Homo-oligomer: A and B are copies of this chain.
C-alpha cells in the first residue's frame, strides 16, 4: 500500500490507487466509500441476524506508546503494515466467509495490483480449507459493484504470473463475476449472491 497522499486527507486504505495517481479523492456521487458501504451492509446483516461478518482492523506496527497519568494511552509512533490476510471475514450459515474489497477508477479493466501477494496466498489457503472466498470489485467512476469468486481471481492472477495481462478486463468480470446492485439497506447485498453462487438457500 502507498500512503503518500497529502496531509490532512482523510485516512482511507481503500483508495490506494487514486492516491498513487495523486488524484483528489471525492465521492460526491454518493459520499460513501466501498468500505463504508460494506461496513453498513455488515452492520445490517448483524442487526438483522443474517450473518456475522466484520472488517479486520488496519494492521499497524506500534513503535512508541505514551502512558499519561489518569488518561488513555497515546500511540505516538506507528506504521501501517501490509495486511497478511483479506480485510473481511466471518460466519454465515455455519460457513466461513472471507473476502477482500477493492475499487478502481479505471472504466474497462480492474488492475490486479490492487491485491497483495499474501492476500492471494491467503485466499488459496481459505479455499483449501473449505471456506467461501471472493472479492467485491467496485468501478468507482460508474459505481458498479461486482462479486467475483476467489477461484476466478486466482486464475487471472496466474495468467499475470505467466506473463499475461496485469488486469482483469471488465468483460471478464461481467462474464465470471456477478453484478451486485447498490441498494438502500443493505447497500451491497453480497449475501444474496453467496446464496445463489454457492446455493446455500
Q: Measuring CB to CB, which residues of chain A are less than 8 angstroms from any residue of chain B?
A: 3-7, 9, 11, 46, 49, 51-52, 54, 56-60, 62, 65-67, 69, 72-81, 84-85, 89-98, 122, 125-126, 128-131
Q: A3-B67, A72-B80, A91-B130 are known contacts; what are 10 more A-B pairs with Cβ within 8 Å?
A: A5-B67, A7-B66, A52-B125, A60-B78, A72-B79, A75-B78, A76-B76, A91-B129, A91-B131, A94-B131
Question: How many whole Å from A60's CB to the nearest CB in chain B?
Answer: 5
The residues of B that contact A81 with a CB separation of less than 8 Å are: 57
Q: List 18 A-B contacts (CB under 8 A).
A: A3-B73, A4-B67, A9-B67, A11-B62, A52-B125, A52-B128, A57-B57, A73-B79, A74-B77, A74-B78, A75-B79, A75-B80, A76-B76, A90-B96, A91-B96, A91-B126, A95-B96, A96-B96
Q: Which B residue's beta carbon lies closest to that of A7?
A: B67
Copies of this chain per assembly: 2
Question: How many whole Å from A58's CB to the nearest CB in chain B?
Answer: 7
A94 to B67, CA, bound (A): 42
The residues of B that contact A131 with a CB separation of less than 8 Å are: 52, 91, 94
Top 10 A-B residue pairs of the complex, sorted by shortest distance between their CB atoms: A94-B130, A3-B73, A91-B96, A75-B78, A57-B59, A91-B131, A96-B96, A57-B57, A52-B125, A91-B129
